[in-house]
Structures are given as C-alpha cells and as structure tokens.
C-alpha cells in the first residue's frame, strides 16, 4: 500500500535550519532523505539526513540522546556505517524515525539542539554510497524508450512481443556503482564499425548516459518466497537517481545473445541521498494509462491500488557541461526532461515481477527503472535516442557539436517533485565527469 500523508508532509512546516526553508532547496523539512557521509578529516562513515545545505548526523543524534524515544534496534541501525540495517527494519521503523526527525528539526522544536554538535555543512562532507548494494538490477520500464531504441534497430517492428507483458530487466554490475562526483574513466572494449568485418579494441567512441530512477530494497524476502504486488511497496525503502553510463559501440557488438555486459559494467553513478517513499507520498499518481488495445497486466502484476496510485509525479532531467563550457563559465545545457509518470511499469510491478520466480531481494539491493523517456522531443533520456544513434548532432552553446560524450563532459541528473500545496522534494546531485584519455 501507499504511505498515507501525515504531519511530516505539512507544507507549513519550517525548520530551524534556515537553508531548508528556501523555496528552491531540494531538502526541505518535508523531504528528509537518508545518506551516508564521511566528514572531511575522518575515516568513519556515518548515516546522515539532508536538511537544506546541512547534514544531520544520526550518530551524533543518538549519542546526545535525541533519538532515545526510539527502539534500541532502530538507534543501532542509525549509528551503522551504511543504511542496510535501517533498510532491513522495514517501512514502519523508517516512518517512526522520519517522524522523530521531523519533530527535531521543526522551527518550533522545544529545546532545539546545538547545531554544532549534530549538523555538518555539506561542503565539509564527502557523500558515499548509501548502502552495500548486494545486487543491482536494471529494468527497461519506459515504453517510449523501448520504442525509440527499437525503431533505430528494427524500424518496422520497434517493440518486441513480450514488452507489454514482461517488465524487461537484466542483472547489472554492483561493484562498479559509484556515488555522484566520482570521475568516470572512458572504457575500452571491442567494437566493430559498420564498414568493418572484424572488431578492434580501444576506447569507446560512443559513450552515453542514461537518465534513470533507482529504488532501494528495504525489508527483503527469503529465497522461494515471492512478494505480491500488494505488498511490494512495503519492501521499498526509497529512491535515488541513476546514470547508467553506456558504451553504445561496445554494446552493439557484444549484446547478442545474452544482453549488455561490458558496455555497462564500467560505471554506474547514483545520487547519494535516498528519498523515502514516504517523502514522496504527496506526489503519487495513477500508473501509466495503457491504451485500450494494450493487454491488461497479468494478475500477479495487477492491483487496483497500484493502478490508482502506483505512479510518481517526478520530473527528471539530464544536463551536460563540456570542458569548454566550464572554462567559459556557462551553465550546463539541458539534454533531457521527462516525467516518471510516463513509465509503463510501476515500482511495485517491477519488484513483484523480480521476486515472482522466488528470487530473493536483500536490503540494500538496487533496482533501476531503465531510461526515462517520453514521447515528445526533449524527453528522450539518452544520447542514443536524442542523436538517433549518432546520426544527428547536438550543438552546445560554445558552438561545439557532438553525437556522444566527449572527454571532460560532465553529466548532471536532477530529479524533483513539485505540486501545488506541497513543499518541493528534490533528489540532489547526480554528477559524473568523463576523464581525459590523453
């Protein structure tokens, strides 16, 4: 079931952390996303909560007794070096913690605690991966993306016959998931140009980004025990942004018959703050409305509640800034803006499908949506689509033209929910810059 709206969503709440009250912040008191950070000059990672331009240190909160009304188990989870333990405690525990943190950070909190003891400035901290990610799965849940990509390879038959029945996905590589800000080395690999009969090995010339939304498993399931669609959201801790970097030339040559492998496994960047499903409650919406001619989802993927509220009205964007643009002090150029509402499959459908064969999902596992694209121009979530497989060029404000990513290019993803009557909830940074190969 979907989290209900409660007092933590009250749009009138303000925080004693002043920067959290600014209109354009990603992290107002109504958001309270969880992450893992390391204070500069420390070797210890700890759990924090983003509030304005600050990080609330949950270890310090526990040590100063500010969370003493919570269970011992929950306090222990808050002082762990990663979110996995907290994730494993399930949505009720996370909700109790959120409520307590909301009370603590309110402008009218009684005895507001000493800032210096429990808050870090974001600039004083390094943000790390929020969880030990056991397995990473990447879906293909945008029918617009699947159709756009399909058209490039099979103009007469863009969408395969299974698409409207199966939430298509593949296993990704967990080891190479990196937090925002990590530099990305251009991968080498085998690629065969269209005119060549044999492949060669070298740097990918068709490096791309993919604009995706990820979600972390909270409480997992035992092997052999599927999670029903009605229970699925209870097993989701929260969401982040995902840039599933892709080397299209390597992918085209390697992917038959077992799917993408080295074209993806060199790096995947995620945003470090995990926005809980509870924080997103005000922005839930109907799932994608299937055209009349489309089949209904099979019963194990079907739920009246999910149809009604399984979507999320979340806007996602991708922006590029080239080396030259940075030197000239230019703003990044937006390449993609799409809505997560337009996904053919909901989070609950992806999760229920994933576990339907008995596969065990573990706390901290990451599932991603696949590229978020829409039908209109400007909504395509990767360069493969935007440049029509490299045949069209993108023009940057410097006059540079390009079909894929160049050395020095930085891709930044953004995500935010905005709705009349509610505070804006944002996802923070998801950046990665392509290292020079020379």
Distances (CA, A) of 156 to 45, 144, 294, 390: 52, 16, 18, 20
**180: its two tokens:** 């925002």
**Is 429 one of the annotated binding-site residues?**
no
**Does residue 380 touch a copy of itself according to CB under 8 A?**
no
The binder of a copy of itself chosen from 256, 292, 331, 391 (CB under 8 A): 256
Query: Across 40-182, where does the E strand assignment appear?
Result: 46-51, 54-57, 119-121, 125-128, 136-139, 169-171, 177-179
**Does residue 165 touch a copy of itself according to CB under 8 A?**
yes
**Does residue 437 touch a copy of itself according to CB under 8 A?**
no
Whole-angstrom distance, CA of residue 214 vs CA of residue 193: 33
Whole-angstrom distance, CA of residue 244 vs CA of residue 415: 15
**Does residue 92 touch a copy of itself according to CB under 8 A?**
no
**Is 371 one of the annotated binding-site residues?**
yes
Site for a copy of itself in 272-331 (CB under 8 A): 295, 298-300
**Does residue 18 touch a copy of itself according to CB under 8 A?**
no
Whole-angstrom distance, CA of residue 163 vs CA of residue 288: 14
Q: Which is nearer to a copy of itself, 6 or 200 (CB)?
A: 200
Burial of residue 68 (number of CB atoms within 10 Å: 0-12, 13-18, 19+): exposed
Query: How big is the site for a copy of itself, counted in residues (CB under 8 A)?
Result: 60
**Stretch touching a copy of itself by CB under 8 A, among 12-20, 22-30, 158-166, 330-338:** 158-166
Residues 6+ apart with CB under 8 A from 258: none
**Does residue 378 touch a copy of itself according to CB under 8 A?**
no
Q: Which is nearer to a copy of itself, 16 or 203 (CB)?
A: 203
Q: Which is nearer to a copy of itself, 112 or 259 (CB)?
A: 259
235 is catalytic: no
Whole-angstrom distance, CA of residue 54 vs CA of residue 21: 12
**Does residue 226 touch a copy of itself according to CB under 8 A?**
yes
**Is 264 one of the annotated binding-site residues?**
yes
**Does residue 199 touch a copy of itself according to CB under 8 A?**
yes
**Is 140 one of the annotated binding-site residues?**
yes
Distances (CA, A) of 39 to 28, 55, 262, 281, 282: 22, 10, 34, 31, 32
The binder of a copy of itself chosen from 14, 38, 362, 389 (CB under 8 A): 362
**Is 209 one of the annotated binding-site residues?**
no
Q: Catalytic residues, which ones? A: 145
The binding site for Mg(2+) comprises 244, 264, 268
């Amino acid at each position: 079931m979907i989290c209900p709206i409660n007092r933590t969503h009250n749009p009138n709440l303000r925080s004693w952390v002043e920067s959290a009250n600014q209109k354009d912040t990603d992290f107002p008191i109504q958001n309270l996303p969880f992450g893992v950070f390391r204070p500069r000059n420390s070797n210890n990672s700890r759990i924090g909560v983003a509030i304005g331009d600050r990080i609330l240190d949950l270890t310090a909160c526990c040590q100063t007794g500010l969370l003493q009304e919570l269970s011992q188990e929950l306090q222990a989870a808050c002082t762990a070096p990663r979110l996995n333990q907290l994730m494993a405690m399930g949505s009720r525990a996370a909700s109790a913690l959120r409520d307590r943190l909301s009370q603590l950070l309110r402008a009218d909190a009684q005895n507001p605690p000493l800032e210096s003891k429990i808050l870090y400035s974001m600039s004083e901290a390094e943000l790390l991966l929020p969880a030990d990610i056991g397995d990473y799965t990447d879906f293909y849940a945008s029918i617009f993306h699947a159709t756009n990509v399909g058209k490039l390879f099979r103009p007469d038959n863009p969408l395969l016959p299974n698409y409207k029945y199966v939430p298509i996905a593949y296993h990704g590589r967990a080891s190479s998931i990196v937090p925002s800000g990590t530099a990305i080395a251009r991968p080498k690999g085998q690629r065969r140009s269209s005119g060549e009969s044999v492949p060669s090995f070298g740097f990918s010339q068709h490096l791309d980004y993919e604009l995706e939304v990820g979600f972390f498993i909270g409480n997992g399931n035992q092997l052999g025990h599927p999670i029903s669609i009605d229970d699925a959201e209870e097993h989701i801790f929260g969401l982040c942004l995902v840039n599933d970097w892709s080397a299209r030339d390597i992918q085209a040559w390697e992917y038959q018959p077992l799917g993408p492998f080295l074209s993806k496994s060199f790096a995947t960047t995620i945003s470090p703050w995990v926005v809980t499903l509870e924080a997103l409650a005000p922005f839930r919406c109907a799932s994608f409305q299937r055209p009349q001619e489309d089949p209904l989802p099979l019963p194990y993927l079907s739920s009246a509640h999910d149809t009604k509220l399984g979507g999320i009205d979340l806007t996602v964007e991708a922006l590029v800034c080239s080396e030259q643009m940075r030197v000239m002090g230019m703003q990044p150029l937006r390449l993609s803006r799409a809505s997560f509402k337009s996904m053919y499959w909901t989070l609950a459908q992806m999760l229920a499908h994933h576990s339907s064969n008995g596969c065990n999902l573990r706390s901290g596992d990451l599932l991603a949506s696949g590229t978020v694209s829409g039908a209109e121009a400007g909504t395509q979530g990767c360069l493969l689509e935007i440049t029509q497989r490299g045949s069209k060029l993108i023009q940057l404000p410097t006059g540079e033209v390009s079909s894929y990513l160049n050395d020095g290019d930085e891709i930044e993803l953004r995500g935010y929910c905005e709705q009349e009557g509610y505070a804006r909830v944002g996802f923070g940074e998801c950046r990665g810059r392509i290292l020079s190969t020379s």
